[in-house]
Structure 1
Amino acid sequence: MYGLTDMQPYGEIRTRAWSFRSVGCGHSIQEWSDMISALRTYGYDYVVSIEHEDPIMSIEEGFARAVKNLNSILIEEQPSDMWWV
């Protein structure tokens, strides 16, 4: 109705075209996993910051959920040699 450049106040959750959501509550965990994999594929191995602006969760719940969801998909170890080739 208002398009991607929706200029309604962020508090108008029901009628906005989009709202910020915690990690895994807007885009799927699979989509986040694909993003983390792409970052690693192209050599990024640094900070992943959480910016919490989810209008339907408390700060504590939204942040805890984002941490839990990111922890489940982060690639922590360096790959070993490709022993199968």
Structure 2
Amino acid sequence: MALIITDDCINCDVCEPECPNGAISQGDEIYIIDPTKCTECVGHYDEPQCQQVCPVDCIPLDPENVESEDELMEKYERLQAEG
């Protein structure tokens, strides 16, 4: 499952540099996560790094983008191949 940033985001800028896939960017009002790039850090870390650093816990799983661990690993491998 990809992650999503909720309206509780305070634009503190700590999540964006932590994303190893470059999936987080500044949106119109808050940061956003590109679900085509988010692997929940599968392939990089044991836990999503953005969730670890978020001071307001506003990065839950995105129910609109359900993916298995295997699908996340496949996405990670595809992103690495695209380099």
Tell me whether the two structures share a fold, i.e. TM-score over 0.5.
no
TM-score by length of 2: 0.28
More helix by share: 1
More strand by share: 2
TM-score by length of 1: 0.28
Choose between structure 1 and 2 for higher RCO, CA contacts under 8 A separated by at least 6 residues: 2
Q: Which has the larger radius of gyration?
A: 1
